[in-house]
């Protein structure tokens, strides 16, 4: 429990440091009063208008009070305003969060669904042809970032076969399930394959190692069938690298979504982030970054908890300290 509190504190420190850092960074080089507003509005605005915007959003205060102004509003659910789009950040994100959520969720899910059985079977039949083929494929896909994989997939499934639309519309599952999958299939595929490759490589290596432990031999000597030895005894003892990798890859999925949303012209958070960064939409960048950082860090915190659920040794070590 104390360990968990420690992690929570660590999370809080990182969150505040990163969000503050982002804000400070966004203000560097803006020496003259009115600069932030001018930047957001595109430079060619009269001074009095810039001054008004600055005043409205406390942009002339010192950095700390600006930060607290922004932070307290964040916690109240007010993410600020996109000055360029002239909407609140919350409304701006509203339709887009789900697109990226589905992208990330499906690709993570599918990557695990593919990677786990493949890795288990590879480790079980080590050095077999299946294992070798698996290794080769995972090598290939690890080396295929979304940027490179997407054109190949589009060329094959859209241009040659014509099975899927070139542009992925935002169709939600409760609207039309079939269309939802049809529109999400390719973008998810692009994100899934490299992810599955990374996961299966890590998991295979760990299971191979676990299979050499004495307790696995003992399980066999008890007459436990191989499937149970693999899935119950070996897999559970080999999940650690996989779990921590899931945590690390969450950030990579955000990056991947950025690229995939470009390729399939999807209106998701990635596209929103890209636009707002390139067009210097200060509040959007700040708030969205904060949300992304919070989600990724909280997910990692959750994974930490999961370790403890799986391994009683961690649980008990935590109880002691």
Partner 1 sequence: MSISIQAATRTSDGPLLQLEDVRTHFQTPRGLVRAVDGVSLTLERGKALGIVGESGSGKTILSRSIMGLLPTRGTIRQGSIRFEGREIGGLSRRAMRDVWGKEMAMIFQDPMTSLNPLMKIGAQIAEPLRIHLDMSRSDAWATAERLMQDVRIPAPGRRLRQYPHELSGGMRQRIMIAIAMACGPTLLLADEPTTALDVTVQAQILDLLGEQRRDRNMSLLLVTHDLGVVAGHTDEIGVMYGGKLVEMAPTGELFANMKMPYTEALLQSIPKLADASHTRLNVIGGRPPDLVNPPIGCRFSPRCPYVQDRCREEEPPLVPTVEDPRHTYACWYPVGSPEYHETKARRQREAEVAA
Partner 2 sequence: MTTAIAATEATRDAEKVKPARKQRHLGWMFGTAWLVVLSVCALFANQLPFIRTYDAKIKIAGKAKGYNFGPGWTAWLGTDNSSHDVFARCIYGARQTLIIGIGATIIGLTVGGLLGVIAGYYRGWVDRVVSVIVDCLLAMPALLLALLLIQRTDQIKETITALGWLTRTEEITVTLGVLAIAPFARIVRAQTLGLRERDFVLAARSLGAKSQRVIWREIMPNLVPAMVTVAVTGLGILIAAEGTLAFLGLGVPRPQTWGTMIDAARDDLSKAWWATMFPCLFLFLTVLSFNFIGDHLARKFDIREAAV
The residues binding partner 2 (CB under 8 A) are 10, 13-15, 17-18, 21-22, 25-26, 28-31, 39, 127, 132, 135-136, 139-140, 142-148, 151-152, 154-155, 159, 198, 201-202, 205, 212, 245, 248, 250-252, 254-255, 258-259, 262-263, 273-274, 277-278, 280, 285, 289, 292-293, 296-297
Tell me how far apart the alpha carbons of residues 67 and 71 are, in angstroms, rounded to a whole number.
6
Q: How many residues bind partner 1 (CB under 8 A)?
A: 21
Structure tokens at 153: 């997939």
Contacted by 224, from partner 2, partner 1, none: CB < 5 to 8 Å by type: partner 1
Kindly state the tokens that stand for 100. 């990226």
Hey, how many other C-beta atoms are within 10 angstroms of the C-beta on 254? Answer: 18
**Contact flags string 222-251 toward partner 1, x per CB under 8 A:** xxxxx------x--xx--------------
3-state secondary structure of 281: coil
Q: Does 100 bind partner 1 (CB under 8 A)?
A: no
Q: How far is the CB of 280 from partner 1 (least distance, A)?
A: 51
320 part of the interface to partner 1, by CB under 8 A: no
The partner in contact with residue 291, picked from partner 2, partner 1, none with C-beta cut-offs of 5 to 8 angstroms by kind, is none
For partner 2, the closer CB: 278 or 309 = 278
Least distance from partner 2 to the Cβ atom of residue 263, Å: 7
Which of partner 2, partner 1, none does residue 302 bind (CB under 5 to 8 Å by kind)?
none
DSSP per-residue letters across 64-108: HHHHHHHHHHHHTT---EETTTTEEHHHHHHHHHHHHHHHHHHHH
Q: Which is nearer to partner 2, 4 or 25 (CB)?
A: 25
d(CA 62, CA 123): 58
Smallest gap from residue 196 Cβ to partner 1 (A)? 25
Number of residues in the chain = 321
Helix, strand, coil % in the chain, rounded to nearest 5: 75, 0, 20
Burial grade of 321 (CB within 10 A; 0-12, 13-18, 19 or more): exposed
């Amino acid at each position: 429990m104390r360990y968990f509190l420690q992690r929570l504190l660590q999370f809080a420190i990182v969150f505040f440091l990163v969000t503050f850092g982002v804000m400070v960074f966004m203000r560097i080089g803006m020496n003259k009063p009115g600069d932030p507003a001018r930047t957001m509005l595109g430079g060619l605005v009269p001074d009095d208008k810039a001054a008004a915007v600055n005043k409205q959003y406390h942009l002339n205060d010192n950095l700390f009070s600006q930060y607290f102004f922004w932070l307290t509003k964040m916690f109240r659910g007010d993410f600020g305003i996109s000055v360029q789009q002239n909407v609140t950040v919350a409304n701006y994100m509203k339709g887009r969060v789900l697109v990226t959520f589905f992208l990330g969720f499906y690709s993570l899910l599918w990557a695990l669904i593919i990677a786990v059985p493949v890795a288990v079977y590879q480790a079980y039949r080590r050095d077999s042809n299946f294992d070798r083929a698996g290794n080769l494929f995972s090598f290939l896909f690890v080396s295929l970032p979304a940027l490179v994989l997407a054109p190949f997939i589009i060329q094959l499934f859209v241009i040659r076969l014509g099975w899927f639309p070139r542009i992925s519309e935002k169709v939600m599952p409760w609207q039309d399930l079939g269309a939802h999958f049809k529109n999400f299939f390719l973008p998810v595929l692009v994100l899934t394959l490299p992810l599955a490759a990374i996961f299966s490589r890590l998991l295979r290596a760990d299971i191979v190692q676990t299979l050499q432990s004495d307790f696995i031999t003992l399980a066999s000597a008890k007459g436990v069938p191989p499937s149970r030895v693999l899935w119950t005894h070996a897999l559970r003892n080999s999940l650690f690298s996989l779990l921590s990798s899931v945590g690390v890859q969450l950030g990579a999925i955000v990056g991947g979504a950025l690229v995939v949303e470009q390729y399939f012209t999807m209106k998701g958070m990635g596209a929103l982030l890209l636009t707002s960064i390139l067009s210097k939409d200060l509040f959007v960048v700040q708030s969205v970054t904060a949300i992304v950082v919070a989600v990724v860090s909280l997910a990692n915190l959750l994974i930490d908890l999961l370790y403890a659920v799986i391994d009683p040794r961690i649980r008990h070590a935590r109880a002691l300290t």
